[in-house]
Amino acid sequence: MKIVDLQLTVVGVPRHTGFINKHVIVELFSDEGLVGIGEMSDFSHLPRYAPDVHDLTNVLKSILVGKNSFDVSLINKELLGNFPEAMYYYEKGSFIRNGIDAALHDLNAKYLDTSVADLIGGQVREKIKVCYPIFRHRFMSEVEENLETVRRRLQQGFDVFRLYVGKNLDADEAFLDGVHREFGSKVTIKSLDFSHLMDWKDSLRAVKRLSKYNFELIESPALANDFEGLKEFRVRVDEPISEHVWSFRQQYEMIKQNAVDIFNISPVFIGGLTAARKAAAAAEIAGKSCLLGTTQELSIGTAAMAHLGSTLVNLDYTSDPTGPELYVGDVVKNKIQYNNGYLEIPDRGVKGLGVELDPELIEKYRVEDLSWGEVTVHQLQDRTANMTKTKS
């Protein structure tokens, strides 16, 4: 099956916070009349540069048009040569590779009249336990807002939450205390996520301060690529340590240093389903667990992650993909579903990823480019609306 054309469409979909995230929707056209779809998810990350979509389209066409869509390894090798790993968490090349790789999987599975999950190994589970994110406190006034988020989401079935920490420890502690007092055992804090904002010593002091509250694991408690610091932190705490995988060299160093217990694997950060499966296999060989991370994808990207997660035998911890719940809209006819705190895997009888683009929604959310203009660093870091608050 030959690839005959490619189309990239930029959409800007608002979150419930008011922040508008930009994504690139990928369509791969084949000589069989089938179309594979993918998602270059959430370009709203630091650094603030973004690719020119017209130029990116021409580059990708030069790589893809005329290729056999089943030559996935060959195509990924060429993509990696043009958009190489940079040992950086928010490296945009991995976002690009991820969108193309998902579209290839969707296209090939449709041609074979099967689901992506069955294409890549078959399901070992029908649903994935997920947590809802509580975004980083900058001001004490945000504590009650976040407690209200817990109340509202608990009523919808989400009983596990991931807390971003490190900007305002007084507020972090007040929030954890509020959760403990109001909800008790009804609510679980999956993790304290430091997002590489602190060095390991500062993170250790923060964990000691917050350790009187229950949480299951700790994420990203050292500066990015500080493998020795990550190991030093790990040997000093009782909770398991999780870290994202954003390059195979980085994963190799973490395995070599025995610096983590859990690999946080997300196709968007490692460069696609093909790469994510390799990272999960490396984790399994090293005797490490996995969880599915997220950049808060729309339904296309989340569906790809659901298919991936359904096949992983070492997915031992609560995962993160709740993106479609964070947005006011989506770009598909059949939005991915959650039930009682679980991400539902698309039915095994579906073809491809099991989601279909809605042309009307594409037009509703279409934007011209990925430029960020006057958006501030704090907005891009924490995906917050542009509002002024008074510290209290």
DSSP string, 154-218: HHTT--EEEEE-SS-HHHHHHHHHHHHHHHGGG-EEEEEE-TT-S-HHHHHHHHHHHTTS--SEE
Pick 385 or 286 by higher pLDDT: 286
Contact call for residues 177 and 206 (beta carbons, < 8 A): no
Mean pLDDT of 86-93: 88
The whole-angstrom distance between residue 335's C-alpha and the CA centroid of its chain comes to 17
> How far is residue 83's CA from residue 78's CA, in Å, rounded to a whole number?
9
Task: Please give the model's pTM, rounded to 2 decimal places.
Answer: 0.95
* Catalytic residue positions, numbered: 90, 164
Mean pLDDT of 322-334: 97
Residue 386 confidence (pLDDT): 55
Mean pLDDT, the chain, whole residue set: 95
pLDDT value at 373 more than 80: no
User: What single-letter amino acid sits at 389?
Assistant: K
Coil, helix or strand at residue 248: helix
> How far is residue 355's CA from residue 300's CA, in Å, rounded to a whole number?
7
> How far is residue 14's CA from residue 225's CA, in Å, rounded to a whole number?
32
Mean pLDDT of 316-342: 97
> How far is residue 10's CA from residue 378's CA, in Å, rounded to a whole number?
23
Rg (CA), the chain: 20
Coil, helix or strand at residue 234: helix
Query: Is the backbone peptide bond immediately before 221 cis, with ω within 30 degrees of 0?
Result: no
pLDDT value at 97 more than 70: yes
